[in-house]
Amino acid sequence: MLSKDYIVGLTDGESSFTVYIRPPRKMQGGKNYRIECHYYLKLRENELSLLREVKDFFDCGRISFQKDKRVNHRDCYRFEISDIESIRKVVIPLFKQNSLHSVGRRKDFKRFCKIVDLVDKKAHQTKKGLKEIMKLKSQMHQ
């Protein structure tokens, strides 16, 4: 079993806290933007067994193959947790109790937590809340 420290180190180097803002599905009667929050790790295809251990550690999420067509890049596997409940109950508590070391990743995580909190409060269903989420998202991955 992998340790929390190992997961923190792996997250510092190979992960992303990502937010997607999806427009309303007007054809289906949707009125509000949808906010998708994702935590993922991406490793080369020869590291699949390690990602399986990561999945066992978190006891949630999924692993998928990702073909990479870019020059000088290899195919890889991606472990991803996108279920908001798992993010709220598993991912966020882990990294709040076990601080990330990378300054950039730590800043992204703090913004990610704020966005999850705003989604929980349904702030994305208001113009003001959606604007705040968009601002936080724009400050990530810099």
7-16 pLDDT, tens digit each:
999 999 999 9
Across the strands, what pairs with 20? 36
> How many domains does the chain contain in total?
1
**What pTM did the predictor assign?**
0.92
Angle ∠(76,81,87) on CA atoms, nearest 5: 150
17-45 pLDDT, tens digit each:
999 999 887 776 678 889 999 999 999 98
Residue 94 buriedness (CB in 10 A; 0-12 / 13-18 / 19+):
middle
Across the strands, what pairs with 41? 15, 79
Q: What pLDDT was estimated at residue 110?
A: 98
Cα 104 to Cα 6: distance, rounded to the nearest angstrom: 18
Q: What residues make up the domain containing 122?
A: 4-138
Where residue 53 sits, what CATH number does that domain have? 3.10.28.10
